[in-house]
Structure 1
Amino acid sequence: MRRPPLRAGERRTVEIVGLTHDAQGIARPDGFAVFVPGALPGETVEIVVEAVKASYAVARLARIVRASPERVAPPCPVYGRCGGCQLQPMTYAAQLAFKENAVRDALRRLGGFVDPPVLPIVGMREPWRYRNKAQLAVRRFGRRTEMGYYARKTHTLVPIDDCLLEASSGMAALRAARDAIRALGLPPYDEAHHEGLIRHLVVRTARTGEAMLVVVTNGPHLPDARRLAAAVRRAVPSVVSVVQNINPRRTNVILGEESRVIAGRETIEETLLGVRFRISARSFFQVNPEQTEALYRIVEEMAGLTGWETVIDAYAGVGTIALVLARKAAEVIGLEAVPEAVRDAEENARRNGIENARFLAGAAEDLLARFAEEGKTVDVVVVDPPRKGLDPKAVDAILRLRPRRLVYVSCNPSTLARDARLFAAGGFRLAAARPVDLFPQTVHVETVALFERDVNVI
């Protein structure tokens, strides 16, 4: 086996020739791959080698000798320490090009599509302050209780006062909650020993001006809960809901299964494409409402509804896609595993006067399989699965249902490509894939893909 041409601790000047899927710069000195976080293609950089493996090395960016024309100064004071916003050093145009290429490359390499029909990416007009949800860990940092994000690939807290991706009102609510926790002497969670009380602070905001604060605790008892809620609502009047979520498990999952309203309402309200939605503490809702509307317009267009179709919306959340599509379909059936989200979806349908949408609680793969076994006639299936993509049972069920069209909303190009290969093998043609930038400054990209059934395949 060839000996690596680098050693740990070595300082070297290299050329960056590409980017990985998670935006690490790639150099190839002597043909050997070196990954350099923070470096951009076309740059000459000085690196310090930190680790050497058999087939690659990881290095720290020490100095930029010649910068890329696409490089900009990151405006965030904790860039490089926080685990997010990997693309901040790139112009927004370069970010969009990177994401569009990531979708195309995944469909080629992993999906087996020689010339995938990837349409131009849909970007944002203003790619900052777009998030309507923030989830910050609460930990002891030195002698103070702090809130923040974790450093990349660690559980080391990076304290923050502000995040430039989050709505300003949401960050104000989080700061008020942190200050109240300090003043009341509520102990932060100790992850190593599974002790302490306050695990996370979660805030949700809406364009209606409403906000919800969720205090995630390590047990059911929250001393001074009403005083905490009152302090937050006094400081930030837009907070109309303060909720305690109880999560006593040793887990990286942020929210537990039980929630209690401390003050105000159980939900906040948002509007997408003229449809009103009720959102509770554990309900899934897209974090970028402006781009979500763009995404749903694409879903609606790809579904090609004429008013006569039966549509299944799998992973329906609070019914956002289902209720948008119901305006142009005969019937929409939403499938969702979280019971609270199903209740919100049903209430959202009622509040909007939509009578041709119904929602079922249960795992999407199980409900799809049941429909397939019953021989149900379905014209369009829409899926919006988590990052792991579709369960094989769900893929099999959709192939047996044989809808005319399948609209796949994906947050992970790799699992989209994997599943696209399966659908192509099962008689569906990948007609189009449109990337949408729901997460500017990060490596994440959403894609809406349209699959059409080959009518010649039985």
Structure 2
Amino acid sequence: MKKNDKIVGTCSGYTKEGLGVVKIDGFPLFVKGILQNETAEMVVTLVKKTYGYAKVLSIKEPSKQRCELKCPVAKQCGGCQLQHMTYTEQLHFKKQKVQDVIDRIAKLDMKVEDVLGMENPWYYRNKCQIPVGVDQNKVVTGFYRIHSNTIIDTNACAIQSETINEVLSHMKELLQTYGNASVFRHLLIKHAFTTGEVMLVWIVREYPFSSMKEMAEDIVQRLPYIKSVIVNVNTRTDNVILGEKEYTLYGDSYITDAIHNLKFHISSKSFYQVNPVQTNVLYGKALELAQLSGKETVIDLYCGVGTISMFLAQKAKKVIGIEIVPQAIQDAKENAKMNNIDNIEFICSDAASYANKLSEENMRPDVIVVDPPRKGLDQITLNSIIKMQPERIVYVSCDPATMARDLGIIKESNYEIKLVQPVDMFSQTNGVECVTLIERI
């Protein structure tokens, strides 16, 4: 087999990214846009020693799980990988993705729960970071073509909230009118679903810049629900989006949202789950699995702005939240005060150092909740958690593979993995969140 060969084959399954797997005489080809059990004519685009890639030329036998693309640039944009699947098939894919790593990496003999899906899997994101460019004197805004720095120009996105799309459309028009788009790197827009408030962050190369105040007045007059306009200055040459210096042009430096009966201040740099509908589901499940009676001391590692911590505090005796980002800890403290919650202590520290400190002090919490970044738990944090011997560990994860790796380590230390519950936080994409219950034997 070589590049540009035309072949016909049938998809037998999916990679973790959602690519179809087509085997030709046992040789696997990874193919974008094909569904399980579909037969297609393809052209080989790349051949490696043990695998290759191919592109669909035509579908010979379409699956009943195939659907029309909702977004006109879905094939070019790298943001949504699963729009060609029905939502039922997306949930099937995500469950299998989690089951695969539980079997292969964690080496656990257990069945993953069905994915908790959405009633409406569109227009759900409350945050977007949109690159801005200029092409032949025309302002372009959109997401990058996959594996490139080329912006796919678009005025709307089918997974961003419709309010965010409206803000983007007006900003694009204003950037063209004022002629200052070349100063902009990104637009960051945050939308609080419960209150309707919007934060607009201009990520720029210099400050001040031409027509800055006039444009802020213009956008707020057009869209009164914008409660905060912030200029973030980023002069870096790498792909880090936010710079260090910020200036508030209009309103406050935060917007306010709510989950259940809890209010949260959200700043430009603070972490907040991007799917508010499913955040209720995810955090509700985490609280359920923590099995709190009001007598427990709980440690919440990677607590962010304190969202999970405050859920837990309503049912626990005491919660200690740990987070390395100073702005997030400041937000967390303000959030606890705003909600009249006084049984939380927030600590600004990296998880590994503070977990190690607590373990050396012979801290014995009843429950530890972790919500680590994509890379999962490092060895120091894992060792410290195991040394503290909590009755239960609730592991929230955005990467099933690193979670499975950590579960494989934890299970060797007198702990049993009781339940793995996937939650669809990122519909139309190949991402999946999980919440897992681990109990001491």
User: Normalized against structure 2, the TM-score is what?
Assistant: 0.98
Match of 1:174 among 148, 168, 174: 168
Q: What is the match of residue 127 of structure 1?
A: 121
Q: What is the match of residue 33 of structure 2?
A: 38
Match of 1:322 among 283, 293, 309: 309
SS at structure 1 position matched to 2:25 = helix
SS at structure 2 position matched to 1:119 = coil
Q: What is the match of residue 131 of structure 2?
A: 137
AA of the residue aligned to 2:184: I
Q: What is the match of residue 194 of structure 1?
A: none
SS at structure 2 position matched to 1:60 = strand
How many residues get paired? 440
Runs of 5+ consecutive residues of structure 1 not aligned to the other structure: 1-5, 189-196
Determine the C-alpha separation between the residues in 2 that align with 1:164 and 1:301. 32
AA of the residue aligned to 2:191: T
- Deviations along 1:271-299, one digit per CA (max 9) or x if unpaired, are 10210001000000001111000111100
SS at structure 2 position matched to 1:179 = helix
User: What aligned pairs does 1:39-438 form with structure 2 within 5 A after superposition?
Assistant: 39-113=34-108, 115-188=109-182, 197-207=183-193, 208-438=195-425
Q: Indicate yes or no: 2:2 matched with 1:10.
A: no
Larger mean CA deviation between 50-59 and 444-453 belongs to: 50-59
Report the aligned-residue RMSD. Answer: 1.2
Determine the C-alpha separation between the residues in 2 that align with 1:405 and 1:91. 37
The answer on whether the counterparts of 1:259 and 1:281 sit within 8 Å (CA) in structure 2 is no
C-alpha deviation, 1:187, in angstroms: 4.1
- Deviations along 1:297-332, one digit per CA (max 9) or x if unpaired, are 100011011101111111111100000110111111
Determine the C-alpha separation between the residues in 1 that align with 2:263 and 2:106. 37
Determine the C-alpha separation between the residues in 2 that align with 1:104 and 1:177. 43
- Deviations along 1:95-149, one digit per CA (max 9) or x if unpaired, are 1111111111111101111x22422211000000110001111112333121110
AA of the residue aligned to 1:32: F
- Deviations along 1:368-410, one digit per CA (max 9) or x if unpaired, are 1111111122111111111111122111111111111110000
Determine the C-alpha separation between the residues in 2 that align with 1:247 and 1:380. 40
C-alpha deviation, 1:222, in angstroms: 3.2
The answer on whether the counterparts of 2:132 and 2:181 sit within 8 Å (CA) in structure 1 is no
Runs of 5+ consecutive residues of structure 2 not aligned to the other structure: none
SS at structure 2 position matched to 1:328 = coil
- Deviations along 1:164-220, one digit per CA (max 9) or x if unpaired, are 1011111111222222222222143xxxxxxxx211001000121110111111234
AA of the residue aligned to 1:278: H
C-alpha deviation, 1:9, in angstroms: 1.2
Q: Indicate yes or no: 2:436 matched with 1:441.
A: no
Determine the C-alpha separation between the residues in 2 that align with 1:223 and 1:336. 38
The answer on whether the counterparts of 2:303 and 2:323 sit within 8 Å (CA) in structure 1 is yes
SS at structure 2 position matched to 1:138 = strand
Identity of aligned pairs, percent? 39
The answer on whether the counterparts of 2:23 and 2:29 sit within 8 Å (CA) in structure 1 is yes
User: What aligned pairs does 1:20-39 form with structure 2 within 5 A after superposition?
Assistant: 20-39=15-34
